[in-house]
């Protein structure tokens, strides 16, 4: 049984913060354009929140790494599947969160999780976009 008695490494934490900031970049650009919020803005905000989720899990290094992996994969799958909403702008956040997932050798997600998570992220994202 593995216990998580240490915090997330500083390197991994920095990558995740950079990913979260990159996830909020498109929302900031939306505000800078001065456009009134509409449905697309709500989608932007929800996507940015998804990129911020790993920051809430700093007490468990393995959970943090898995959350970074899942968030990064969802953002990576979400971009090409919803280009008309401008979701491709979250690609830098996806890359940074994927780097954060593997930033520290002791905190990396397991092999099975690393294999199953990409397929699950693509399937869930595709099912979410089906009604659109």
Q: Contact at 8 Å (CB) between 108 and 65?
A: yes
Map out the domains of the chain as residue ranges.
10-129
The pTM assigned to this predicted structure is: 0.70
Most confident of 37-46, 93-102, 120-129: 93-102
Tell me the C-alpha to C-alpha distance, in Å, between residue 8 and each of 15, 56, 70: 11, 11, 17
Q: Cα–Cα–Cα angle for 32, 37, 43, nearest 5°? A: 100
- pLDDT digits 0-9 by tens, 26-38: 777 777 776 666 7
- pLDDT digits 0-9 by tens, 72-115: 888 888 777 677 777 778 888 888 888 888 777 777 677 777 77
């Amino acid at each position: 049984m593995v216990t998580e008695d240490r915090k997330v490494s500083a390197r991994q934490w920095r990558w995740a913060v950079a990913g979260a900031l990159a996830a909020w970049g498109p929302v900031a650009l939306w505000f800078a354009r001065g456009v009134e919020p509409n449905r697309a803005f709500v989608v932007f905000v929800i996507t940015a929140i998804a990129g911020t989720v790993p920051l809430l899990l700093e007490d468990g290094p393995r959970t943090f790494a898995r959350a970074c992996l899942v968030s990064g994969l969802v953002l990576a799958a979400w971009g090409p599947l919803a280009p008309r909403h401008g979701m491709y702008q979250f690609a830098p956040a996806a890359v940074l969160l994927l780097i954060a997932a593997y930033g520290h050798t002791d905190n990396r997600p397991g092999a099975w999780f690393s294999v199953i998570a990409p397929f699950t992220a693509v399937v869930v994202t595709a099912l979410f976009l089906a009604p659109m």
